[in-house]
Amino acid sequence: MSETKPDATLDVRGLFCPIPIVKLSEAIKNYPTGTVLEVLATDPGTLTDIPAWAKTSGNQVLKTEREGTVIKFHVKKVK
């Protein structure tokens, strides 16, 4: 199992729908294709929202992990 190290982190802990998705879509614009962005969230809605956003926007969720109340995603910019 190869572990991809994230290139940057986006912290949206304590923020609720729709802000995590809005911030993620804005943040990812600043990075080149292939960048892996780590997203830290606490809104349980992000568990399905971030994969749904990735699917529609053509990006990729590499990993979803829960650490207590924090949900950690690794999102790869594909396009």
Residues involved in catalysis? 17
Give the dihedral of Cα atoms 5, 10, 11, 12; nearest 10 deg: -130
Query: Least CB distance from residue 14 to other proteins, whole Å?
Result: 6
Q: Which stretch binds other proteins (CB under 8 A): 1-9, 16-24, 30-38, 67-75?
A: 16-24
Query: Least CB distance from residue 3 to other proteins, whole Å?
Result: 28
Q: Does 5 bind other proteins (CB under 8 A)?
A: no
The HSE-up count of residue 7 (CA atoms within 13 Å, CB side) is 13
Quote the DSSP letter at residue 7.
S
